[in-house]
Amino acid sequence: MKKYNKGFTLIELMIVVAIIGILASLSIPAYLQMTVEARIKNVEKFISQLQPDIESYYKAMGKFPTDNEAAGLPPPDKLISNEIASVTVKNGAFYVKLSQRVSKSLHDKALTIRPLYVPDYPKTPLSWACGNATIPEGMMASAGNKTDIPYTYLPINCRL
């Protein structure tokens, strides 16, 4: 009677390794993109803490602050975090320069978060637009959009 070997052949093991390699090559770029999106969402959370200062100024003065000092915020190079290199306020809009921690390819790229208002009705609550988000009909942005982050890295609320 012949005795058969009960282990895997070299070909079978190589096929398994190849399949794992293909799956990894497909999933790693998607994971890296999700990581960058999560870090940009952290930037949004940081800015959301500063938005009440802009809203208060707008309600009190009927216009947007021209710079960080007028908004009662620290200078741009002092408004920093793990993901943020600086935050500049111009006409109520936040111009955020990203740090290298977000991604080496996005270092020094800009994300704009702008207040939206209804012209001639300063009592109307402000809304905010992130990045390339479209402005609803009947509203205006206080400043221009300087976002230069590639579309694929922006969270969904900053794209539409």
- Whichever domain contains 18, its CATH number is 3.30.700.10
pLDDT tens digit sequence for 25-45: 999 888 888 899 999 999 999
* Residue 1 banded pLDDT, cuts 50, 70, 90: low
Euclidean distance between CA atoms 2 and 35, whole angstroms = 55
What average pLDDT score do residues 11-32 get?
A: 91
Domain count, the chain: 1
Euclidean distance between CA atoms 61 and 53, whole angstroms = 12
The verdict on residue 103 lying in a domain is yes
The tokens for 59 are 């309600």
State the distance between the two ends of the chain, measured CA to CA, in whole angstroms: 71
Given this model, what pLDDT does residue 120 score?
Answer: 84
pTM of the model: 0.84
95 lies in which domain range? 10-158
The verdict on residue 136 lying in a domain is yes
* CB count in 10 Å sphere of residue 124: 13
